[in-house]
Amino acid sequence: MRMGAKKAPFYRVIVKEKRSKRDGKYLENLGTYNPMTEPAEINLNHDRIEYWMSVGAQPSETVASLIKHNPRMTEEEKTERDQKRIEAKEAKKAAELKAKADKAAAEKEKAEKEAAEKAAAEKAEADAAAEAAAPAEAESAEETGAEAAPADDAAAEGKSDADAADDGKSDADKADDGKSDADKAEDGKSDADAADDGKSDADKAGA
């Protein structure tokens, strides 16, 4: 017979008429079964169970299983059985905790490995980019040098043209350029004197 609250079952092992309702009146209470404790708490009155079975009572599958796995025992045997159940439960719990810790350690190791591989890949990619950028900079420098060379050639050609123009000057121009301003003024005065001399000769011819 089920007792207890919702999600907290508690059972009684009873003897009742087959034709009675499931939760109806029973003839005798033969024990209790509490599956909510660890280990489960089972109390059976084996003397009365044997009596009722001797007069034709038929145990249900659940009650038969309880009787089979919980035979008549002394108090010492019951204590030893309960202790073994507790130890088995603790060992199972310890194994679960160990498995959980091993799983966490494996996941951590995997994450660290993936992070290291990612960092190495990023470093390799950065190194490759740096190596690719170095030739590009060298080519840019070469192009800049090539552009500067024609400019220098053009300047040199311009200078050569100026030199050629200077060479094209007549010797007189060069001589004139070499004269000082005072010499140029003296030359102008001499030309004027020569003109006056020409005028005097004309006057003489008229006389």
Find the mean pLDDT for residues 156-161. 55
More confident residue, 38 or 31: 31
**What is the Cα–Cα distance from 133 to 139, expressed in whole angstroms?**
10
Q: Which two tokens stand for residue 141?
A: 């420098």
d(C-alpha 53, C-alpha 44), whole Å = 14
Report the predicted TM-score, pTM, of the whole model to 2 decimal places.
0.38
CA separation for the pair 11, 84 (Å, rounded):
23
Q: How far is it, in rounded angstroms, from Cα 87 to Cα 38?
A: 11
22 and 29 in contact (C-beta within 8 Å)? Answer: no
pLDDT at 60 over 80: yes
How would residue 95 be classed by pLDDT, with cut points 50, 70 and 90?
very high
Distance CA(167)–CA(174), nearest Å, equals: 9
Q: Options 3.10.20.30, 3.20.20.140, 3.40.47.10, 3.30.1320.10; which CATH number does 2-72 get?
A: 3.30.1320.10
The mean pLDDT of 53-77, rounded to a whole number, is 85
**For residues 148-165, average pLDDT:** 54
Higher-confidence residue of 157 and 67: namely: 67
**pLDDT score at 191:** 52
Q: How far apart are CA 48 and CA 3, in angstroms?
A: 21
Contact 10, 36 (CB under 8 A): yes
Rounded Cα–Cα distance for residues 84 and 90 (Å):
10
Q: Confirm if 25 and 16 have CB atoms less than 8 A apart.
A: yes
pLDDT for the residue 111: 92
Asked if residue 192 has pLDDT above 50, the reply is: no
